Amino acid sequence: MNTLREDLHELAAHAPDVDLADVAIRGARRRNRVVRLSLAAAVVAAGIAGGSVIRLQQEVRPVPPVVLTPPETKALPLPDKGVAPVEQVYRPFCRGGCQESGWRIVTRRGETFQLPEVPGPVEATVDGRRIAYYSEKDRRIVVRDLASGQIWKAPLKQPKQDFKVEYTLRMSPNGLRFIVSGWGGRREPNMLVDIEQGTVEQLDSGWWPVSVADGDGPVVLAKPYDKSTKVWVRGHKPVTIPTFTYEFSALNPDGRRLVRMGQFLSRTEPMVRRDGMIVTFDALTGGIQARVPVSGIPGDLEPAKLGGWLSADEVTLVAVARSPGSDASAVAYAVNVLTGKARKLFPLRAEGAYAVPGLVH
């Protein structure tokens, strides 16, 4: 498999008239799909290998195997109102000929609710009180308050095809301002939508949404290149980060602090890898404020994604299995950006797609 660096150089050599920043973003998205497919193939291969071992054991000692099936989580239809804040959103992983089920939400009270089938992901605000998704009936993104049941409809109408490809929905803390960006389809929207003001603004092509504040607060965008990434707090000049990355937190409420996952370039292969550290920097100047190792996470997990702020110095972090063949499940943490100390919030329930409130992904 070619590395992302090789792909970008190949594109640069053969397509000089193409916007390389835009190509870099699409290439990274395509590479993520290839990695996911490779991981799925590895899981299948492991299952086949495991099956061979079982058959051999049965020939030597013909004892019927005991199969333990985990209990099925009962999901009730989502009520019209009175729902507690979301802890996580997930789509159960389906294998062995079963039928794909839609998205589910797990509340902080431990309830699991089934959402109506919707194209594309479901996102939640950082406080978990509101969710957003594409409504095929309304042909637009809608935001729903889980406690009151109130629904807001975006002023931007979009075709269903926009949500059958890869897209990002980045919500503000109250959910009434968001960016919707899409890649891979005939249309590639990149819009800043304000439901309260009823406005839609076209954003510059190639800039990926990192963070959106309520009202007229800061909007943060990023544009990765081969060896660097530009970070732009609109209204200020972009700053340059010396690595290719999409792995940022939301902007701190102070309007300056942003956190990214630490990375290094492997010496054995031209690949950028995570180094287990988080880097806090000033999004307006680019200056590094702290670089600390993450602690308090088991050795079979590694920090992977960041999200919204839970306090002045704690940010959401998701850790995933360090090895593709590991049985370890992803876990959500709160990590102190000054000390690197992580405290566990909850394990993620699904092997398939998932979202944590406020996660930047």
pLDDT computed for residue 54 by the predictor: 33
Give the residue among 127, 128, 131, 132 at the shortest CA–CA distance from 156: 132
Q: Does the pLDDT at position 13 exceed 50?
A: no
pLDDT computed for residue 94 by the predictor: 67
pLDDT computed for residue 59 by the predictor: 37
Mean pLDDT of 70-96: 82
Higher pLDDT, 26 or 110: 110
208: phi then psi, degrees, rounded to nearest 5: -90, 135
pLDDT computed for residue 186 by the predictor: 62
pLDDT computed for residue 358 by the predictor: 92
d(CA 5, CA 124): 33
d(CA 109, CA 330): 20
Mean pLDDT of 281-306: 94
Band (18; pLDDT cuts 50, 70, 90): very low
d(CA 309, CA 126): 8
Band (189; pLDDT cuts 50, 70, 90): confident
Q: How many Cβ atoms sit within 10 Å of the Cβ of residue 207?
A: 22
Give the residue among 354, 355, 328, 335 at the shortest CA–CA distance from 292: 335
d(CA 204, CA 208): 9
Which of 51-55, 250-254, 273-277 is predicted with the least confidence, judged by mean pLDDT? Answer: 51-55
pTM for this model (two decimals) = 0.76
Q: Does the pLDDT at position 92 exceed 70?
A: yes
At 131 the three-state DSSP class reads strand
Mean pLDDT of 185-195: 83
d(CA 226, CA 274): 16
Q: Does the pLDDT at position 146 exceed 70?
A: yes
pLDDT computed for residue 291 by the predictor: 94
Band (4; pLDDT cuts 50, 70, 90): very low
Q: What is the pLDDT of residues 64-78, one digit of tens each?
A: 333 333 445 678 999
- Which pair of structure tokens corresponds to residue 262? 């630490």
Mean pLDDT of 181-206: 86
pLDDT computed for residue 181 by the predictor: 87
Which of 146-155, 238-247, 263-272 is predicted with the least confidence, judged by mean pLDDT? Answer: 263-272
Q: What is the pLDDT of residues 172-187, one digit of tens each?
A: 999 999 999 877 656 6
User: What is the bridge-based pairing of β-strands 208-212 and 219-224?
Assistant: antiparallel
pLDDT computed for residue 63 by the predictor: 39
Strands (E), 227-313: 229-233, 239-241, 257-265, 272-282, 288-293, 301-309
SS3 content of the chain, % helix, strand, coil (to 5): 15, 40, 45
At 285 the three-state DSSP class reads coil
- Which pair of structure tokens corresponds to residue 273? 């890898």
- Which pair of structure tokens corresponds to residue 192? 């800043």
- Which pair of structure tokens corresponds to residue 353? 């797609």
pLDDT computed for residue 73 by the predictor: 60
Which of 40-49, 112-121, 307-316 is predicted with the least confidence, judged by mean pLDDT? Answer: 40-49
- Which pair of structure tokens corresponds to residue 27? 């290439």
d(CA 306, CA 273): 16
pLDDT computed for residue 81 by the predictor: 96
pLDDT computed for residue 100 by the predictor: 57
d(CA 132, CA 152): 9
Mean pLDDT of 301-316: 95
CA distances from 106 to 28, 98, 103, 110, 212 (A): 30, 22, 10, 6, 24
Band (202; pLDDT cuts 50, 70, 90): very high
- Which pair of structure tokens corresponds to residue 264? 């290094």
For all residues of the chain together, what is the average pLDDT?
Answer: 80
Helix axes 20-60, 4-14, angle to 10 degrees: 140
Q: What is the pLDDT of residues 214-232, one digit of tens each?
A: 999 999 999 999 889 999 9
Mean pLDDT of 56-65: 37
Burial class of residue 327 in the structure, from the number of CB atoms within 10 Å of its CB (0-12 exposed, 13-18 middle, 19+ buried): exposed
